[in-house]
Each structure stands twice: as structure tokens, then as C-alpha cells.
Structure 1
């Protein structure tokens, strides 16, 4: 069985821990300028990557092949870069990384959607044992 769903979940959990730590730090300092960084770390990093990983676990055929690995690299990489880019946009008025990471995140989301649609419309594959019995 592919370990790709677990890679999604480990990356998601790391984002969750980072988002929680950032939220606690902002609360302790009473400085909430980084709220968008906190929100995107939790939404894009934790929630979205975890849902992708759980989806791959529920439909293991989605975790097969090079496209699945590419989707992980694009999605996880951009989920980690996006909050960093938002930090630079908020604190240093430099939105370039946020824009690029957001566009790369969109590519990962489109890959995920495309793979789900392909699974939906693909013919049902029956195990070889059933085909041999016919």
C-alpha cells in the first residue's frame, strides 16, 4: 500500500502544529498582524492536506502513479510556501511569494480535482480473479 496518504497527513499535522504555535504566540503577544498566516497555515496546510490524504486513503487507486506524487509535491510545497509568502506580504509589503505559491496551490487543487473526476468517470476495474471466472 502506498505511503502517500501518510505523507499528506504528516505534512498536514506539521502545519497544524505550526499554526497552533503561531496562534498561541499571537495571543500571548496580543499582536494579531499575522492572523492571515495563521489562517492559511491551518486551512491550506492542515485542513486541505489532511482531507487530500484521507481521500487517498479511502480511494487507494488515487495514491498510485507519478501524477499522485506530483500532486503531493505541488500541494505540500505550496501549502508550506503560501503562509511564508503571506508573512512577507503582511510584514514587508512583498506579496510575490504569496502570489506564486497561491497559483501553485491552485495547480495542486486542479490536479486533485482532475484525478477525482477521472476516478469518477473511469470504468470500474474488477479484480483479475473475477475476470478469469467469466
Structure 2
């Protein structure tokens, strides 16, 4: 994948597929205990990653910044921490990972907000280094 937007979109699509498969399993087993984790996978893993990909596709100046790559890896870490963290919290295995995932998720969104405010939508150079 050559662009940061492509990374966000591809990762979001993979998370969407995982979330859909998980939803089918929950439906088939009639066990919806983990639906909060499933919902976070779909919302943070698919929706937020896709919105971020859209922003970077429309804003080459932001996409070219070093912070775009940081934003991607922080967002990925957030999903990979918060979803199993919620599973662990629901199953009574502790809440530490969910708390870490929450802080990572908040940090990723704060970085996204910074990027939007710093670069705006559109404009900027047509090259990308992230």
C-alpha cells in the first residue's frame, strides 16, 4: 500500500470483515455477551479508520506529514488494545487493557483533531511521505 489513506482504508476493511464475521457468530450462537467489544471493533476499527482514510485522501498536505503515519499506528494500536480489553473486562479478566485501549483511542482522536485543525480539508502538496 502506497498511501496513508490506503492503509487506513485497507485496515478498516479488514476490521469490518472481522466485525461482520463476529456478528454472525454471535447471532448463530445467540450469545451477545461480547456485543460491546463487537461494537467497538466496528466503530473504531471500521468507521473511524475509514473516516481517517477519507480525510487523508482528501488532504494531501496532511497525508504528507509525519504525523499521518503516527496517527495510523496509534489508531491501529488503539483498536488492537481496546477490543480484547473490553472482552477481558466483560469476562472478568481485568480492565487494564481496556483502559490502555481507551487512552490510545482518545490519543488517536486527539491527533486526528490536531491534523484536521492544522491542515484543514484539501489543499497542500501532492506528494506523500508518510
TM tier, smaller: 0.7 to 0.9
Specify which structure has the higher proportion of helix.
1
- 1:18-97 to 2 correspondences below 5 Å: 18-97=18-97
Q: Larger radius of gyration, structure 1 or 2?
A: 1
CA-to-aligned-CA distance 1:49-87 (integer Å, 9 cap, x gap): 001001100111111122111111101111222111111
With a CA cutoff of 8 Å and minimum separation of 6, indicate the structure with the bigger relative contact order.
Answer: 2
TM normalised by structure 1 equals 0.85
The change in CA–CA distance for 1:114 and 1:29 in structure 2 (over 3 A counts) is same
Equivalent pairs counted in the alignment come to 123
- Alpha-carbon distance in 2 for matches of 1:34, 1:126: 44
- Alpha-carbon distance in 1 for matches of 2:10, 2:89: 27
The change in CA–CA distance for 1:125 and 1:52 in structure 2 (over 3 A counts) is closer
Shift of 1:119: 1.5
The change in CA–CA distance for 1:93 and 1:46 in structure 2 (over 3 A counts) is same
Shift of 1:125: 6.1
Structure 2, unaligned runs of 5 or more: none
The change in CA–CA distance for 1:64 and 1:92 in structure 2 (over 3 A counts) is same
Partner of 1:113: 113
Classify the secondary structure of the residue corresponding to 1:32: coil
Partner of 1:131: none
Moved over 2 A (4+): 124-127
Pairwise CA RMSD: 1.8
TM normalised by structure 2 equals 0.88
**1:104 correspondence with 2:80:** no
Classify the secondary structure of the residue corresponding to 1:99: helix
